[in-house]
A = this chain, B = another copy of it.
Amino acid sequence: MSLLDYFRSKKPATASIAKERLQIIVAHERGRRDQPDYLPQLQQELIAVIRKYVQIDDDMVQVQLDKNDSCSVLELNVTLPED
């Protein structure tokens, strides 16, 4: 499955509410299957970097990690505070 297929398979957002959101997607396409997958470790570091710019509560972060043979996709969805 290509990365584009992955995005195409995502369902559309339920409604276009004017909310402040941050979405981070990290896709790692591995040439060989025996390479290490560091996306789970990366996740916390990415959130730490974002925290330098904007206040994030842990319960406002949704994390999803999809994997198949040659591709791992980490998706972070952050709802930001209104003010």
Contact = CB atoms under 8 A, between A and B. Distances in A.
Interface of A: 2-4, 7-8, 10, 12-13, 16, 18-32, 35, 38, 41-42, 45-46, 49-50, 52-54, 70, 82
Nearest to A45: B49
B38 A42 contact: no
A28 B19 CA distance: 10
Number of copies of this protein chain within its complex? 2
A7 B23 CA distance: 13
Given A23-B29, A38-B54, 20 more contacts: A4-B10, A7-B10, A18-B31, A19-B31, A20-B29, A20-B31, A20-B32, A22-B26, A22-B27, A23-B27, A24-B25, A24-B26, A25-B27, A31-B82, A38-B53, A41-B53, A42-B50, A42-B53, A45-B52, A46-B49
